[in-house]
């Protein structure tokens, strides 16, 4: 069976460790979020956080995330020093017994949404991404040079109308949603800072970004192999370019190319059904079957794709992810390898009492508890059905 975990953002998280344990999770996925990108994670700080988690009756075996500095992604002259810092943090994590480290290679922004409280028909709230809203921000608030070239004429017309109809409050909310940073995101920008940061990527296309990613892996993986640590890359979210920034971990072919370029055992995958599922051309159960030996961590969530590149977070067993087929593929992988792969329910809805309390967008308590319960039941049912077939 999968190892059931939940993400926790540290002592300031409004969801407590005790509440997570009561949801049925046995493990925590977390990071030292208080440290800036590039800072060494001190061994003492890692040990203290781990002791806090274990005192609550839970385990910490997966880091999410140890950020890769943007200088590495850009291939800046300072890349080598930031890689050495990264390696030092890996050594300190390994010394504390933590062997799975999540990271991403998305320029500047981590996961991006345009609405953090989109109301569903049942009154619950979900995260949503809408390309027209991205274009409205890009063209009218950010005013990025050349932005018009990245959108279809139809999208530009819709974005113009969208922006014109927005109140100042709505415009400010959209700005904050995109550039202020979401839970677990790696950077927090003002509009001016974001525009300046984008300019630093002017000479970085998808080919260059991929080459910089491979260079990072070739520098870090030999050390990770020696430490017994697996680096698991999180796919791009959303899995296509935005704001003129390239993205290179969006499809199965992208991921397979990374493994071909750096075949080290430590070069692994965080399989995120939601990120990959935002593209209809990604075969999610097939990715588990074909790349399963590289999967070290699972984000199980589903998105409902909408017209014109929009999508919203669906309930875990609904939407476009084909979750029963995904979990069946994971179950078969675990049966074949004898592994229990860490899993977490990702991006739960705000529902019931979540609507009356503070929570990090996407990381409500009850919405994730529902997701965990549904995924647990789904896996148990698949397991029992398989045993019936074998022994019946």
Domain borders along the chain are 3-10+28-108+210-391, 115-195
- At 182 the pLDDT is 60
Is 234 among the catalytic positions? yes
- Structure token digits, residue 109: 């922004």
- Structure token digits, residue 134: 């991205």
The rounded percent of the chain whose pLDDT value lies above 90 is 93
Residue 211 has pLDDT above 80, yes or no: yes
- At 185 the pLDDT is 62
Is 346 among the catalytic positions? yes
Residue 57 has pLDDT above 50, yes or no: yes
Which CATH code is given to the segment(s) 3-10+28-108+210-391? 3.20.20.150
Residue 306 has pLDDT above 90, yes or no: yes
Residue 347 has pLDDT above 70, yes or no: yes
- At 16 the pLDDT is 97
Is 69 among the catalytic positions? no
Beta bridge partners, 312, equal 128, 304
pLDDT digits (tens, 9 = 90+) for 71-81: 999 999 999 99
* Largest pairwise CA distance in the chain: 66
- At 186 the pLDDT is 61
- At 49 the pLDDT is 98
pLDDT digits (tens, 9 = 90+) for 172-184: 999 999 987 666 6
Task: Decide: pTM greater than 0.75.
Answer: yes
What's the whole-number mean pLDDT along residues 48-56? 98
Evaluate whether 276 touches 239 at the Cβ level (below 8 Å). Answer: yes
- At 388 the pLDDT is 58
Is 201 among the catalytic positions? no
Is 122 among the catalytic positions? no
- Structure token digits, residue 361: 């967008």
What's the whole-number mean pLDDT along residues 198-206? 96
Residue 37 and residue 107: Cα distance in Å, rounded? 13
Residue 391 has pLDDT above 50, yes or no: no
- At 332 the pLDDT is 97
- At 79 the pLDDT is 97
Residue 88 has pLDDT above 90, yes or no: yes
Identify the CA nearest to 112 among candidates 150, 144, 138: 138
pLDDT digits (tens, 9 = 90+) for 183-201: 666 667 889 999 999 999 9
Q: Give the active site residue among 272, 312, 331, 359.
A: 272
Average pLDDT for the chain: 95
pLDDT digits (tens, 9 = 90+) for 224-277: 999 999 999 999 999 999 999 999 999 999 999 999 999 999 999 999 999 999
- In 232-254, which positions are buried (b, 16+ CB within 10 angstroms) versus exposed (e)? bbbbbbbbebbbbbbbbbbbbeb
Residue 101 has pLDDT above 90, yes or no: yes
What's the whole-number mean pLDDT along residues 329-357? 97
In degrees and rounded to multiples of 5, residue 233 shows phi and psi of -85, 135
Residue 295 has pLDDT above 90, yes or no: yes
Q: Give the active site residue among 299, 312, 331, 349.
A: 299
Residue 133 and residue 275: Cα distance in Å, rounded? 19
Residue 149 has pLDDT above 90, yes or no: yes
Is 272 among the catalytic positions? yes
- At 110 the pLDDT is 86
Q: Give the active site residue among 254, 347, 349, 359.
A: 347
Beta bridge partners, 221, equal none
**pLDDT grade for 62, boundaries at 50, 70 and 90:** very high
Q: Give the active site residue among 13, 71, 236, 346.
A: 346
In degrees and rounded to multiples of 5, residue 125 shows phi and psi of -120, 140
What's the whole-number mean pLDDT along residues 47-65? 98
């Amino acid at each position: 069976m999968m190892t059931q975990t939940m993400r926790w953002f540290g002592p300031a998280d409004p969801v407590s460790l005790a509440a997570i344990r009561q949801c049925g999770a046995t493990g925590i996925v977390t990071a030292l979020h208080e440290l800036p990108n590039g800072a060494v994670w001190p061994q003492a700080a890692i040990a203290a956080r781990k002791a806090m988690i274990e005192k609550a009756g839970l385990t910490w075996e997966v880091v999410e995330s140890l950020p890769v500095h943007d200088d590495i992604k850009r291939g800046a002259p300072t890349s080598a020093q930031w890689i050495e810092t990264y390696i030092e943090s890996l050594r300190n994590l390994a010394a504390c017994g933590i062997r799975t480290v999540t990271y991403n290679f998305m320029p500047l922004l981590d996961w991006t949404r345009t609405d953090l409280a989109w109301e569903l028909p049942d009154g619950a709230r979900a995260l949503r991404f809408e390309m027209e809203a991205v274009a409205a921000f890009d063209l009218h608030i950010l005013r990025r040079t050349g932005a018009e070239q990245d959108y279809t004429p139809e999208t530009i017309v819709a974005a113009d109308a969208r922006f014109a109809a927005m109140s100042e409050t709505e415009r400010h909310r959209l700005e904050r949603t995109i550039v202020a940073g979401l839970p677990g995101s790696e950077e927090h920008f003002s509009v001016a800072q974001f525009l300046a940061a984008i300019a630093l990527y002017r000479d970085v296309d998808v080919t260059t970004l991929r080459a910089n990613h491979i260079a990072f892996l070739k520098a870090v993986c030999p050390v990770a192999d020696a430490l017994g640590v697996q680096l698991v890359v999180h796919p791009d979210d959303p899995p296509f370019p935005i704001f003129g920034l390239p993205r290179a971990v969006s499809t199965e072919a992208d991921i397979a190319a990374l493994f071909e370029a750096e075949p080290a055992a430590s070069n692994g995958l965080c399989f995120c059904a939601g990120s990959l599922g935002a593209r209809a051309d990604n075969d999610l159960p097939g990715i588990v079957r074909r790349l399963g030996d590289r999967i070290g961590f699972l984000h199980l969530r589903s998105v409902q794709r909408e017209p014109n590149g929009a999508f919203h977070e669906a309930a875990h067993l609904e939407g476009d992810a084909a979750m029963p087929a995904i979990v069946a593929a994971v179950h078969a992988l675990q049966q074949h390898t004898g592994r229990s792969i860490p899993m977490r329910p990702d991006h739960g809805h705000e529902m019931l009492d979540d609507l009356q309390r503070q929570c990090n967008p996407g990381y409500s308590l009850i919405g994730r508890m529902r997701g965990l319960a549904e995924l647990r039941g789904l896996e148990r049912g698949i397991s029992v059905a398989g045993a019936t077939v074998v022994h019946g």
